[in-house]
Amino acid sequence: MSERSNFIHDFIDEDLETGKHKFGEIQTRFPPESNGYLHIGHAKALFIDFSTAVKYGGKCNLRFDDTNPAKEDTEFVDAIKYDINWLGYNWEKLCFGSEYFDMCYDFAEKLIMKGKAYVCDLDKDQIREYRGTFSEPGIESPYRNRSVEENLDLFRRMRAGEFADGTRTLRAKIDMASPNLNMRDPAIYRILHINHHQTGDKWCIYPMYDFAHPIQDAIEGITHSLCTLEYEAHRPLYDWVVEQCEFEKKPRQIEFAPLNITNTVLSKRFLRQLVESGTVDGWDDPRMPTLCGMRRRGYTPEAIKNFLTRAGIAKTDSLIDFALLEYCVREELNDKALRRIAVLDPIKVVIDNYPEDKVEYFEVSNHPAKPELGTRKVAFTKELYIDREDFALVPPPKFFRMKPDGEVRLMGSYIVKCVNPVVDEDGNIVEIHCTADLETGCGMPADGRKVKGTIHWVSASNCEDITVKLYDKLFTIKNTGDLPEGMTYSDVMNPESVITLTNCKAEKGIGDTEDGHFQFVRTGYFVRDSKNPEVYNRTVTLKDSFKPE
Ligand code: ATP
Ligand code: MG
């Protein structure tokens, strides 16, 4: 799908026109925190960061934002790298925010020397109290006017480990009356006696995100720092840091609306809760909006990227219909997935006039629209399985599938007539006896009679037992950002988000096929589970009325 232009590209075009940057110099970055697995919201950010770099002949770095040592884990670093590559993106430089701790520290001292930062002894609660509100200006800290010498001394002693966590911070000296609360002398360094997964115990003070991020961007030569809307109010601080640290090349922060999808929550914090409470079966549960979950569900990188292209990039918040994602997945699988036959709720059919030991092979196409994908041979025998819903003892009007005394085509093979459905005492169908029109074969009946219905089937002696999992939305409400008063996400979880069908029958050889993506004919798109090879996950149903605009 071709790249659409968007407001971010308009800004960049502007920067090219004014000569601020040249084509080929555009540099972006993707800055995940290594505290969880990537979800499809992150895929949007990746899509924007990488496609922007590509469009302008530039590069995109992957930078793990690990300034917050308490929350990170190397398990996530590897998973995030894997997921980015899976989407088809290759970063230029791989960096860690912690690599810049020395430089951040030097810049902090520089700010102190310029009189632009001071050590403050107020604690967290006092700082909040002094900060004021949207309608009231803040109050200046009593430590605001310490001398440069005193500030330097205290800051160095903070670094040396002389003070306990939370007893002091280094704050930028900006404006306690600013209408933007982020500009009211924000903390830029805090004391944390904690081991860091990259730097060990080298540091006991850590820079705040708002201070570290612009410095990292500027050092790496990022020209456009693309992020979600929540950072809009932080942009003046971003620019202040770049300005005060006297970087010659100034990165430009541009914010875009985060991805929101109906019936889904895109928040690592909440997804982690689902995993830790055992509500879902891990980060890669096929119901999860994580990239690993979607991969296990059978979504492909191309489908996800097509979805992101169609969802578009805008400056204002919106809620994208999950059906658009399913549409894109279906569109791609319709094109690529091999056709196979599976019967999800089997009932046995016995062809009375077919010899006991005979096996006949019918040649079936792997993809009706793509002869280049070849054919395969499917066995036909006396005993078969068909899907329960393809039979009706008391058929409703216009029921063209199997019914008593009715004829139906077994897909790709004989026309059969249902002569005797065997029903047990409780009214359940036990098995169905039929006779086949062996004269006609795969052709049309010679006498010109019409057979309207065609149903799928597998041979009972030439099939594989499989388990099928049908997935549905994780939440019952459309807009999870608008949770009804007093409710939690747990209250709106869909109790039928997964249905497991054991005892399903698939044509023989399905397990040997390398590519695990299939269309089960007349049933839906499925993928072989990456952890349990006898399990097939439904990726998406066959049809939906949804049409993208
Ligand atoms: P979460 O709230 O899920 O934990 P996060 O913003 O804390 O997300 P980060 O690892 O910091 O997670 O995100 C990396 C990048 O992905 C950031 O630039 C962030 O703006 C972007 N991002 C996160 N969520 C979304 C989303 N729903 N849509 C688009 N971009 C997103
Ligand atoms: Mg974040």
Question: Can you tell me which atom of ligand 1 is nearest the CA of 46?
Answer: 16
Angstrom distance (rounded) from CA 76 to CA 481:
26
Q: Residues 293, 266: contact at Cβ < 8 Å?
A: no
Asked if residue 415 has pLDDT above 50, the reply is yes
How many whole angstroms from 41 Cα to the centroid of ligand 1?
6
Q: Which ligand is nearest to the CA of 63?
A: 1
Number of other CB atoms surrounding residue 428 within 10 Å: 10
Asked if residue 547 has pLDDT above 80, the reply is no
The domain covering 7-256 belongs, at the CATH homologous superfamily level, to HUPs (3.40.50.620)
Domain ranges of the chain: 7-256, 268-339+466-541, 342-456
pLDDT in tens, 420-465: 999 999 989 999 999 999 998 888 888 888 999 999 999 999 999 9
pTM for this model (two decimals): 0.94
Angstrom distance (rounded) from CA 503 to CA 303:
31
**Nearest residue CA, atom 9 of ligand 1?**
32
pLDDT in tens, 495-510: 999 999 999 999 999 9
pLDDT for 34 equals 87
- Helix H segments across 436-494? none
Question: Can you tell me which atom of ligand 1 is nearest the CA of 39?
Answer: 3
pLDDT for 198 equals 85
pLDDT in tens, 141-177: 999 999 999 999 999 999 999 999 999 999 999 999 9
pLDDT for 123 equals 95
- Of 37, 42, 62, 319, the one to substitute when testing ligand 1's pocket (max ligand atoms within 8 A of C-beta) is 42
How many whole angstroms from 36 Cα to the centroid of ligand 2?
11
Q: Which ligand is nearest to the CA of 227?
A: 1
33: left (phi over 0), alpha (psi -120 to 50) or beta: beta
How many whole angstroms from 76 Cα to the centroid of ligand 1?
14
CATH topology of domain 268-339+466-541: Glutamyl-tRNA Synthetase; domain 2 (1.10.1160)
Q: For ligand 1, is residue 33 a contact (CB within 6 Å)?
A: yes
pLDDT in tens, 374-402: 999 999 999 999 999 999 999 999 999 99
Asked if residue 548 has pLDDT above 80, the reply is no
pLDDT for 3 equals 54
The yes or no reply on domain 342-456 and CATH 2.40.240.10 is: yes
Q: For ligand 1, is residue 228 a contact (CB within 6 Å)?
A: yes
pLDDT for 176 equals 97
Angstrom distance (rounded) from CA 270 to CA 363:
50
What is the arrangement of strands in the sheet containing 517-520, beginning at the earlier edge strand?
A: 338-340, 517-520, 524-528, 535-540, 463-471, 498-507, 342-343
Mean confidence (pLDDT) of the chain = 94
pLDDT in tens, 47-57: 999 999 999 99
